[in-house]
Amino acid sequence: MLDTKNLERGDLASPTPTNISRRGFLLATAGVTAGALVLSVGLPAAPARAQQAGMAPGTRVPAFLEIRPDNTIRFLSPFNEGGQGIFTAMAQIVGEELDADPAAFLVENAPAGEDYKVMGAPFGRVTGGSMSVRSSFDVMRRLGALARQMLLQAAASRLEVPLGELATEPGQVVHAASGRKVSYGDLSETAMDLPVPDPDSVTLKKQEDFSWIGKPVARLDVRDKSTGRAVYAIDVKVDGMLHAAVQHAPRLGLTAGHIRNEDTVRGMTGVHSVHTLDGAVAVVAERWWNAKRAVEALQVEWSDPGAQGTDKRYMPADFSTAAFRERLANEPGEGKVAEEEGDAASVLQKAENVVEATYFSQFLHHAQLEPPSTVARFNDDGTLDIWLPNQAPEQFQANIAKVAGIEAAKVNVHSPILGGFFGRHFLYPEANPYPQAIKLARDVGRPVKVIWSREEEFLRDPMRPMAAVRMRASLDEQGMPQALDIVSACEGPTEAVFGHNPDKVDPTAVEGLTGKAYAIPNRRISQIYVKNHTTIAYWRSVGNSMNDFLYEAFLDELADKGNIDPLELRMRLLKGNQRLSTLLQHVVDLSGGWKRGPFDAEDGTKRARGIAMASPFGSHTAAIAEVSIREGQVVVHDIWESIDPGSIVNPAIIGAQINSAAALGTSQALLEDTVYEKGEPQARNYDLYPILRPDQMPRVHVGIVESGEKMGGIGEPGLPAVPPAITNAVSHLTGKRVRSMPLSKLTFDA
Amino acid sequence: MIVQDAKGSRHATTTSRPDFQIIAKTLDQAKHEELAMELTINDTSYEVQSDGETPLLWVIRDELGLTGTKFGCGLAQCGACSVLVDGVVTRSCVTPLASVVGGRITTIEAIEEDEIGKRVVEAWVDHQVPQCGYCQSGQVMAATSLLKENANPNDDEIAAAMTNLCRCGTYNAISAAIRDLAGETKEG
Ligand code: FES
Ligand code: FES
């Protein structure tokens, strides 16, 4: 993906790079290059082919593809790479129809622009929701096919033969009759000048003819990422750039007043200037370390204007997560209905065997390893170049334009690969450093790079929501669930970010409580909206990250109350659902047969297994976890997880993503909890906010079921079934019902 | 707090988070910050201007422009900033510049010039270890350091040495890659 072959340092440093070909917008706009230390390329993302106006997103071939004389293929991806393997998947999909080996691709994230809004409404283009491949699969295949058609047309005139006599082999057009071959690289210049054919004029390959889709194609980025050559936003450097560090107000809503030692700090080594920002102070310096030391030395008098009654969130001085949890648990009301079937209320009223419990999810940090940063540079022509980690270039462009007070067309958004994201890099009020970078760059009249230290990041990272969920269910005489009533007190991430609608349930607050396939005849699932003082965000697998835990753990509680084995209960509730019964059986077989335990393991520990399912983001998963207790704490030994994503593009990437999601699910279940006291988060770094360590990582065994159903997501679906599989095993092993996470806050003896 | 003299030179600092132990003697010399220090990084000598307390990480990244070494926490928690100092893995975010003057520093940029480092990189590619990749420079340095010290580590030794964090959860791929390398050494 990252290529330095043609990027001489001098090229990059000059405002108009010399290596940009006639259609060289590809190189210029993506803002990602490797190895190079200086990035000052900044051509606007000019549409490549003005003569073909009004083309649908994802069809303007030259906006996506540049085939070089050496037959390498630069491809501008609508979706950003943050570890989920999307650049490789895109190369497989486009390469399949283009007839080009994915290994020949150099992939970068595309700039902001209409051409790249390939998902259609309402998203246009975001990297999230595990939607990249499934939302664009056909569009991107067609793009590859259109490019191939253009190459064939160029070859027909070059070789002076009818197009019908031509065929392709990977990377070249072949004229069998005369034995002549022309490489794509030779044809590209001519081909890309041709008008793009009617998208309906090309036929896509049949699945059985696929050469790369469905195969474990090697990732394009592993070598650069194993040798330090991959460039992230935090690594970007432009000529004349200064560095900035910030100190945020300890609570949201506070404003910086007098700085007692401003003059002293201004005199510190390397300090350029001291600035007051919205809810923060900043120091600009020649080096980031000097900026950080200086900004931390600033003695700021923060003033507390109290809640302003605006949309801006205000964090009161007495806020604590413990008290907020209590409030959620006791919030009165029955909530707005998100899903209803039968008549749960009257069944519950008449029932004899009712099970009732309150379950909790906790606030979580994204804790992606790359701290947020932004480089902002105002250019002489009135444009702004900005480099920042982001999952939605057009949304950022619009917002940046507003903040900078210039037209969106003058904002060149560069979106380098992401050092992890998990939902962190959407537009969140108060949680992105770009407004600071823009203001500082303008104030100092030079490009500025802002980096948030880990401590400043954990102070402004928006949270995965907390929920208190009141569960009630009735069991019939056979112990089968008859009615289920769930009331979740929670603010969903979508309403938190885009605004709450009092007439609507936020689906991302309840997904995973809703949409379960189990045949429980009477159900009422509802949400009570409780606004947070903290900012709220999407987190890998969004609502499902907590709700499948809450639901599946309660389901085990019901199984135990009804004296039915939890696997058996799920099998019965899925009777007639071929797809999910198959999946459940698949994970059982993968684990060597259902063995709930407790049993004695070879190493002398007593162990148990738990099982859970989830259906997030269009895919379905089933997981089994094996646990034991060591010194009062839970050890997760193995996770078996099967996924049915309908149809697949790269089984190796699926395996890696299940491992990754299992790690994050285990981390959440065992360790993670963002605690606020007196309005402030208690952990500001990984020392007090532990994330899963290598020695805590379970073995992960992955099963893939390709049912042939509609394609689902890959990056997130592996997570939600893991926490409940773990906690169900722990509840069974210890006899102590687990209704909240993380397990590190509980002690067990077994 | 910070005390400054008229020329703006820093005499003493404490922060709310004393990050690292300063090697007093070397630092004393380094405090005369106008005195440039010489660093050997990837077999090249550099004259650097940063003062002696500056963490090695920021000298490498900002002053020398070698950005393969990453910043994750600044608190010796994550290992993203790992480099080799005289062949031993070191978290450069808490390593004062003055303490490594005279040492041989290797960063990820030169890892393939090291025989063991080169094999580690190949194993990383074979096992398709990286996901987002942000921690991987540090992981490769840690693995190289381990294999330099112990050509044939067992699982416990791998676990004891490989403590860098990875938010993407590539841990199983990392240990598989190292086990492969250990096996390779055994046979060879
Ligand atoms: S940045 Fe040095 S250990 Fe995290
Ligand atoms: S690969 Fe992403 S943090 Fe390790």
The distance in angstroms from the start CA to the end CA of chain B is 57
d(CA A701, CA B75): 34
- Three-state SS string over A222-274 comes to HHHHHCCCCCEHHHCCCCCCEEEEEEECCCCCCEEEEECCHHHHHCCCCEEEE
Three-class DSSP category at A542: coil
Q: What is the mean pLDDT of residues A291-311?
A: 92
| Structure confidence at residue A128 (pLDDT) | 85
Check A235 against B67: CB less than 8 A apart. yes
Three-class DSSP category at A650: coil
Q: What is the mean pLDDT of residues B130-150?
A: 98
Q: What is the mean pLDDT of residues A9-31?
A: 31
Phi/psi of residue A179, each to 5°?
70, 10
- Kind plus residue range of the DSSP H or E element containing A359: strand A353-361
Q: Please say if the pLDDT value at position A690 is more than 50.
A: yes
Q: Which of A119, A124, A116 is nearest to A134 (CA)?
A: A119
Query: Residue A386 in contact with residue A397, Cβ under 8 Å?
Result: no
Q: Please say if the pLDDT value at position A33 is more than 80.
A: no
Angstrom distances, CA of residue A228 to CA of A14, A268, B109: 24, 32, 6
Top-confidence residue, B16 or A296: A296
d(CA A19, CA A11): 7
Q: What is the mean pLDDT of residues A252-276?
A: 96
- Kind plus residue range of the DSSP H or E element containing B155: helix B155-161
- Kind plus residue range of the DSSP H or E element containing A357: strand A353-361
Q: Please say if the pLDDT value at position A15 is more than 70.
A: no
Nearest chain B residue to A224 by CA distance is B133
Q: Please say if the pLDDT value at position A30 is more than 50.
A: no
| Architecture in CATH of B111-187 | Orthogonal Bundle (1.10)
d(CA B79, CA B62): 18
CA A419 to ligand 2 center in whole angstroms: 7
| Structure confidence at residue B35 (pLDDT) | 62
Q: Please say if the pLDDT value at position A41 is more than 90.
A: no
| Structure confidence at residue A625 (pLDDT) | 98
Specify the CATH number of the domain B20-109: 3.10.20.30
d(CA A361, CA A738): 12
Tens digit of each residue's pLDDT (9 = 90 or more) over A97-142: 999 999 999 999 999 999 999 988 778 898 888 888 888 899 999 9
Q: Which of B93, B94, B131, B140 is best to mutate for the A interface (most A CBs within 10 A)?
A: B131
Q: Is B76 in the pocket of ligand 1 (CB under 6 A)?
A: yes
Tell me the chain B residues in contact with residue A231 when contact means C-beta distances shorter than 8 Å: 67
What are the domain boundaries of chain B? 20-109, 111-187
A735–chain B nearest CA distance, Å: 30
| Structure confidence at residue B30 (pLDDT) | 42
Report chain A's mean pLDDT, rounded to a whole number. 92
Q: pLDDT grade, residue B3 (50/70/90)?
A: very low
| Structure confidence at residue A54 (pLDDT) | 78
Q: Which of A424, A616, A622 is nearest to A507 (CA)?
A: A616
Count of helix runs (H) and strand runs (E) in chain B:
6, 7
| Structure confidence at residue A26 (pLDDT) | 33
Q: What is the mean pLDDT of residues A274-286?
A: 97
d(CA B128, CA A222): 6
Tens digit of each residue's pLDDT (9 = 90 or more) over A531-543: 999 999 999 999 9
Angstrom distances, CA of residue A47 to CA of A51, A349, A393: 10, 64, 16
Instruction: Say which ligand is closest to the CA of B137.
Output: 2
3.40.50.300, 1.10.357.10, 2.60.40.10, 3.30.365.10: CATH of A43-226: 3.30.365.10
Q: Please say if the pLDDT value at position A16 is more than 80.
A: no
Q: Please say if the pLDDT value at position A700 is more than 50.
A: yes
| Structure confidence at residue A344 (pLDDT) | 98
Q: What is the β-pairing status of strands B82-85 and B37-41?
A: unpaired
Determine the atom of ligand 2 nearest the C-alpha atom of A420. Answer: 2
Phi/psi of residue A702, each to 5°?
-110, 135
Range from A592-596, A694-698, B2-6, B68-72 carrying the lowest mean pLDDT: B2-6
d(CA B76, CA B62): 19
Range from A11-20, A56-65, A339-348, A410-419 carrying the lowest mean pLDDT: A11-20
Query: Residue A553 in contact with residue A359, Cβ under 8 Å?
Result: yes
Tens digit of each residue's pLDDT (9 = 90 or more) over B30-49: 444 446 789 999 999 999 98
Tens digit of each residue's pLDDT (9 = 90 or more) over A709-750: 999 999 999 999 999 999 999 999 999 999 999 999 998 875
Residue with tokens 């998208």: A199
Upper half-sphere CA count for residue A337 (Cβ side, 13 Å): 11
- Look at domain A233-306+372-451 and name its CATH class: alpha beta
Q: Please say if the pLDDT value at position A8 is more than 60.
A: no
Asked whether the domain spanning A323-363+464-745 has the same topology as the one spanning A233-306+372-451, the reply is yes
Listed in order, strand segments (DSSP E) in chain B are 3-4, 10-12, 37-41, 44-48, 82-85, 88-91, 104-106
Nearest chain B residue to A457 by CA distance is B73
What's the order of all strands across the beta sheet hosting A105-109? A65-67, A73-77, A105-109
| Structure confidence at residue A34 (pLDDT) | 32
Q: Which residues have a Cβ under 8 Å from the Cβ of A106 and sit 6 or more positions away?
A: A1, A2, A3, A72, A73, A74, A75, A220
Taking the CB of residue A390, how many other CB atoms lie within 10 A of it?
A: 31
Phi/psi of residue A606, each to 5°?
-95, 130
- Which tokens go with A219? 């990732």
ipTM metric: 0.92
Check B130 against A221: CB less than 8 A apart. yes
Tens digit of each residue's pLDDT (9 = 90 or more) over A67-100: 999 999 999 999 999 999 999 999 999 999 999 9
| Structure confidence at residue A750 (pLDDT) | 57
| Structure confidence at residue A40 (pLDDT) | 30
Range from A308-312, A466-470, B159-163 carrying the lowest mean pLDDT: A308-312
Could you please state the CATH topology (level 3) that the domain comprising A323-363+464-745 is classified under: Aldehyde Oxidoreductase; domain 4 (3.30.365)
Check A83 against B71: CB less than 8 A apart. no
Query: Residue A545 in contact with residue A741, Cβ under 8 Å?
Result: no
| Structure confidence at residue A459 (pLDDT) | 98
What are the domain boundaries of chain A? 43-226, 233-306+372-451, 323-363+464-745
Tell me the chain B residues in contact with residue A370 when contact means C-beta distances shorter than 8 Å: 70, 72, 132, 134
Taking the CB of residue B102, how many other CB atoms lie within 10 A of it?
A: 11
Tens digit of each residue's pLDDT (9 = 90 or more) over A304-350: 999 887 778 999 999 999 999 999 999 999 999 999 999 999 999 99
Q: Which of A4, A222, A226 is best to mutate for the B interface (most B CBs within 10 A)?
A: A226
| Structure confidence at residue A49 (pLDDT) | 43
Q: Is B72 in the pocket of ligand 1 (CB under 6 A)?
A: yes
Percent of chain A, pLDDT > 90? 89
Q: What is the β-pairing status of strands B104-106 and B82-85?
A: antiparallel
Tens digit of each residue's pLDDT (9 = 90 or more) over A552-569: 999 999 999 999 999 999
Determine the atom of ligand 1 nearest the C-alpha atom of B70. Answer: 1
